[in-house]
Amino acid sequence: MTIFTEGASYHERVMGEPIRGRDGIRDYWQTKVALLTFDGPLISSLREYWASEVVELSPAAPAHQQRSPNGG
């Protein structure tokens, strides 16, 4: 977590609120997404897995704004 300042923010979702502070970022990474592999003090691999949330659009939304269930 020392790669972040104490007051860092991690903005993971465009429309969502950022995760704030080292403690918040640590909790998010440990419980949600990040698998880090280190080679000494440096990261040699970062795997991040998460599932998109389904966003409901109004029936009047143009077709180009509608997303398929598989995220495409």
Residue 17 has pLDDT above 70, yes or no: yes
How many domains does one find in the chain?
Answer: 1
DSSP assignments along the chain, one per residue: -TTS-TT-EE--STTSPPEEHHHHHHHHHHHTSEEEEEETTEEEEEEE---PPP----TTS-GGG---TT--
Any domain includes 9: yes
> In this structure, what token pair is assigned to residue 67?
């997303």
Does the predicted model carry a pTM greater than 0.85? no
Any domain includes 64: no
Residue 34 has pLDDT above 70, yes or no: yes
Residue ranges making up the domain that contains 12: 1-50
pLDDT at 8: 95
pLDDT range class, residue 52, cuts 50, 70, 90? low
- Arithmetic mean of pLDDT over the chain: 78
Any domain includes 66: no
Any domain includes 10: yes
Any domain includes 60: no
Mean pLDDT of 27-36: 81
